[in-house]
């Protein structure tokens, strides 16, 4: 069975735990966690990930900056990126997708929606 | 005519007659033969007709059998289609139930993580921060506050908030208005309609008293939901109450711990002074 490496970037430990707990329900997922965009970039350069799940509003480096930097990295040009955020305005969504995010999910967290989106993107 | 001529004529007539008679006999024989042949033919045809009648009647009975079979099969088909419909309905009902259970399962998992996080620390400020995170991420609130009961003054004092400044929120007496009333009765409050709602500190969208059994220690007051969250779901009502229970015990125990830590350090200070 193929193992997929997933990086969850989220500053709220509670929210991070909720996402990790949801993703662990998909077999074969190895999940790593990062507290913010900078921490996320460090982990992305130290390993090769197959999926990135990130929040937008984070200290030090926000999710949008992270997405744009990830897309400039040749190793992560095609890696699926899912944004999970409280920002529900359509312009926020469009901006995130224009920067290179593949999916945009709004909070409050809905586990089923996250799982379906991940499964669709990863074909699992 | 002479006698010999007459005799000759008679003989010739007799010959003619004989010839004619012979022809008549031959013709009669031919007729008899033809008659016999035709009778034989009639018998044959009659037999053949008889056979055909019998065949036709057996064919008719076969058709009736087939018709009966078709009717029986039609009935069976109807019954099977009925069963398939029932099975499909059951299947749909199971699928719906599966979804409901899945949603409940997800809610319980989220609740488990939320309560785990709430009880993972005895730091009062951290507990308040976790409550804020839960209300944002699980409930979908954008502007809200946490007010705790000051038992000396019997007033609710704002201690944490999101989307609005904590010092902007008013202190409320127990029993005063919607918030004070909710704390006094210990009952959750939900506004009837969110349409056209404007933030009013006296009239929130939601009030969830933080209760330990029947003892109310504070309240979570919501003034605005996230743009994408336009209404509460059935799960929200359950989640509110369950989370409020966990939040209440977490707040109570962390405050108790902070107080005892503070008292301990004061006593330690006195002891140090006395023993020096």
Q: Are residues B54 and B182 in the same domain?
A: no
- Domain region containing A33: 4-118
Answer yes or no: do A107 and B136 touch at CB < 8 A.
yes
The reported pLDDT for the residue numbered B61 is: 85
Q: How far is A19 from chain B (nearest CA, A)?
A: 9
**Do B67 and B126 fall into the same domain?**
no
- Residues B153, B84 share a domain: no
Contact B116 A17 (CB under 8 A): yes
**Higher pLDDT pick, B56 / B172:** B172
| Mean pLDDT across B10-20 | 86
Per-residue pLDDT, averaged over A30-51, amounts to: 95
List pLDDT tens digits, range A84-120. Answer: 999 998 999 999 999 999 999 999 988 999 999 999 9
Asked if A109 and B138 come within 8 Å (Cβ–Cβ), the reply is yes
Q: Please state, in angstroms and rounded to a whole number, the distance separating the CA atoms of residues A55 and A97.
A: 14
B252, B239, B41: which is closest to B137 by C-alpha?
A: B239
Structural domain includes residue B98: no
Is B112 part of any domain? no
Q: Angle at the Cα of B233 (from B228 to B238), degrees rounded to 5?
A: 130
Residue B56 covered by a domain: yes
Q: What's the pLDDT tens digit per position in B60-99?
A: 888 999 999 999 999 999 999 999 999 999 999 999 999 8
Contact A54, A25 (CB under 8 A): no
Same domain, B48 and B125: no
pLDDT higher than 70, residue A66: yes
Give strand ranges (E) for chain B: 141-150, 155-162, 172-173, 189-190, 206-212, 215-225
Q: Do B252 and B144 share a structural domain?
A: yes
**What span, in angstroms and rounded, lies between the C-alpha atoms of B63 and B70?**
10
pLDDT at A85: 94
B192 falls within a domain:
yes
Q: Mean pLDDT throughout A16-36?
A: 93
Number of folded domains that form chain A: 1
N- to C-terminal Cα separation, chain B:
205
- Interchain CB contact of A57 with B (< 8 Å): no
Establish if B271 belongs to a structural domain: no
Q: Is residue A124 part of a domain?
A: no
CB-based burial of residue B138 (10 Å sphere; 0-12 exposed, 13-18 middle, 19+ buried)? Answer: buried
Domain of residue B252, CATH code: 3.30.450.40
Contact B117, A13 (CB under 8 A): yes
Q: How many domains does chain B have?
A: 2
Domain of B82, in residue numbers? 1-90
The pLDDT value recorded for residue B12 is 86
The encoded tokens of residue B50 equal 């008889």
Rounded to whole angstroms, the Cα distance separating B117 from B131 reads: 9
Q: Is residue A114 part of a domain?
A: yes
Q: Is the pLDDT of residue A2 over 80?
A: no
Give the three-class secondary structure for B32: helix
Say if the Cβ atoms of B117 and A14 lie within 8 Å. Answer: yes
Instruction: Specify the pairing of strand B215-225 against strand A103-106.
Output: unpaired
Residue B103 has its nearest CB partner, among A15, A22, A112, at: A112
- Minimum Cα–Cα distance from B110: chain A residue: A18
Domain boundary, last residue among B50, B74, B90: B90
Q: Residue B276 domain-assigned?
A: no
Q: Are residues B134 and B72 in the same domain?
A: no
Secondary structure in 3-state letters for A93-106: HHHHHHHCCCEEEE
Domain presence at residue A35: yes
Contact criterion met (CB below 8 Å) for B169 and B179: no
Confidence class of residue A51 from pLDDT cuts 50, 70 and 90? very high
CATH of the domain at A21: 3.40.50.2300
Tell me which chain B residues have a C-beta less than 8 angstroms from the C-beta of A110.
106
Q: Residue B3: pLDDT above 80?
A: no
Helices (H) and strands (E) in chain B, counts: 4, 6
Residues of B in contact with A111 (CB under 8 A): 106, 109-110
CA dihedral A98, A84, A53, A109 (to 10 degrees): -160
Q: In this structure, are B129 and B18 located in the same domain?
A: no
**CA B111 vs CA B80, B130, B226, B236: distances in Å:** 45, 13, 20, 11
What is residue A1's predicted lDDT score, i.e. its pLDDT? Answer: 62
The Cα–Cα gap between B46 and A123 comes to: 80
Last residue of a domain, one of B90, B110, B127: B90
| Residue B100 maps to a domain | no
Structural domain contains residue B97? no
Inspect the interface and report whether the beta carbons of B140 and A21 lie closer than 8 Å. no
A106 located within any domain:
yes
What is the pLDDT at residue B1?
Answer: 61
Cα separation, B81 vs B85, whole angstroms: 6
Is A102 part of any domain? yes
0.80 exceeded by pTM: no
Would you say residue B205 has pLDDT above 70? yes
């Amino acid at each position: 069975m193929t193992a997929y490496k997933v990086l969850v970037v989220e500053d709220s430990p509670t929210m991070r735990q909720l996402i990790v707990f949801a993703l662990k329900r998909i077999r074969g997922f190895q999940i790593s966690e990062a507290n913010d965009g900078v921490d996320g970039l460090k982990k992305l350069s130290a390993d090769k990930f197959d999926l990135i799940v990130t929040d937008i509003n984070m200290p030090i480096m926000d999710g949008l900056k992270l997405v744009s930097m990830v897309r400039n990295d040749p190793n992560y040009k095609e890696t699926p990126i899912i944004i999970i955020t409280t920002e529900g305005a359509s312009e926020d969504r469009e901006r995130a997708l224009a920067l290179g995010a593949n999916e945009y999910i709004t909070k409050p967290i809905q586990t089923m929606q996250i799982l379906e989106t991940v499964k669709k993107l990863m074909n699992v | 005519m002479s006698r010999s001529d007459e005799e000759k004529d008679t003989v010739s007539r007799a010959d003619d007659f004989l010839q004619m008679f012979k022809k008549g006999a031959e013709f009669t024989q031919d007729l008899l033969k033809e008659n016999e042949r035709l009778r034989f033919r009639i018998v044959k045809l009659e037999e053949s007709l008889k056979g055909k009648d019998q065949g036709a009647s057996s064919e008719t009975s076969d058709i009736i059998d087939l018709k009966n079979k078709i009717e029986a099969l039609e009935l069976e088909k109807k019954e099977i289609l009925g069963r398939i419909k029932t099975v499909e309905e059951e299947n749909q009902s199971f699928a719906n139930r599966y979804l409901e259970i899945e949603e409940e399962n997800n809610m319980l998992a989220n609740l488990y993580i939320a309560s785990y996080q709430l009880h993972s620390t005895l730091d009062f400020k951290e507990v308040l921060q976790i409550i804020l995170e839960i209300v944002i991420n699980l409930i979908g609130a954008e502007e809200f506050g946490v007010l705790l009961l000051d038992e000396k003054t019997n007033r609710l004092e704002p201690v944490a908030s999101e989307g609005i400044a904590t010092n902007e929120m008013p202190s409320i007496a127990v029993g005063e208005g919607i918030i004070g009333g909710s704390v006094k009765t210990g009952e959750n409050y939900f506004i009837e309609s969110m349409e056209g709602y404007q933030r009013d500190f006296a009239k929130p969208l939601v009030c969830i008293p933080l209760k330990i059994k029947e003892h109310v220690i504070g309240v979570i007051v919501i003034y605005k939901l996230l743009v994408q969250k336009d209404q509460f779901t059935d799960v929200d009502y359950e989640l509110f109450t369950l989370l409020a229970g966990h939040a209440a015990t977490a707040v109570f125990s962390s405050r108790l711990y902070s107080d005892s830590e503070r008292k301990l350090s004061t006593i330690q200070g006195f002891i140090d002074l006395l023993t020096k």
